[in-house]
Amino acid sequence: MPELTAIALLALLGAYLIGSLSSAVILCKIAGLPDPRTQGSGNPGATNVLRMGSKKLAALVLLIDVLKGVIPVLIGRMLGFDINILTLIAFFAFLGHLYPIFFQFKGGKGVATALGAFLALSPALAGAALLTWIMVFVISRISSLSAITAAALTPVYAIWLIDTAFARWIILVIAILLLWRHRGNIQRLMAGEEKKSG
């Protein structure tokens, strides 16, 4: 367990608050669209916004959700934190997206925010996860299956790409939470009812 200084604790809080900014809900409100939590899959994320019929807005949601993971970790790097604290910052940004304090703790599944956090934490880890997502999607055309597979394999990649055991454990927790948030998708996949994209 890394030593948590006052500055580190503030960084964790800041990461959580940044993660709590639900871009899908905010942007849909600005655009005059319904709350994505009440439409389609009910998930406030880019995929559901895309299903609501707005490609440009979905792309913007995706970008902002990725940045919600990138920015806190990059700030942590500028503050000189080690890999353990940086991974905790990544976790808190991800946690904010899942359970946003500003939106009754009803957040998204966290795929884009986790990817952004991993990108700032370890580009190689993010690249491996993204490549996995792309490969599975090209074969299956199922976004959720791609995310589930990437989430399941990311802790395995971390064994080789992340230096400390503590950081690897935090990445495992992130992966478990990603899988938990996709439990409905997993049930539909097992029943052969999950919809394809494109």
pLDDT tens for 18-54 read 999 999 999 999 998 888 998 877 888 888 898 887 7
Give the mean pLDDT of 114-139: 98
Q: How buried is 75 (Cβ within 10 angstroms: 0-12 exposed, 13-18 middle, 19+ buried)? A: middle
Among 171, 14, 38, which Cα is nearest to 104's? 38
Q: How far is CA 112 from the centre of its chain?
A: 4
Q: Give residue 83's pLDDT.
A: 97
pTM of the model: 0.94
Q: How buried is 79 (Cβ within 10 angstroms: 0-12 exposed, 13-18 middle, 19+ buried)? A: middle
Q: Give residue 198's pLDDT.
A: 56
**C-alpha to C-alpha distance for 178 and 95, rounded to whole angstroms:** 10
**C-alpha to C-alpha distance for 171 and 162, rounded to whole angstroms:** 9
Handedness of CA 15, 17, 23, 24 (dihedral sign): positive
Give the mean pLDDT of 174-186: 97
Task: Name the more confident of 1 and 67.
Answer: 67
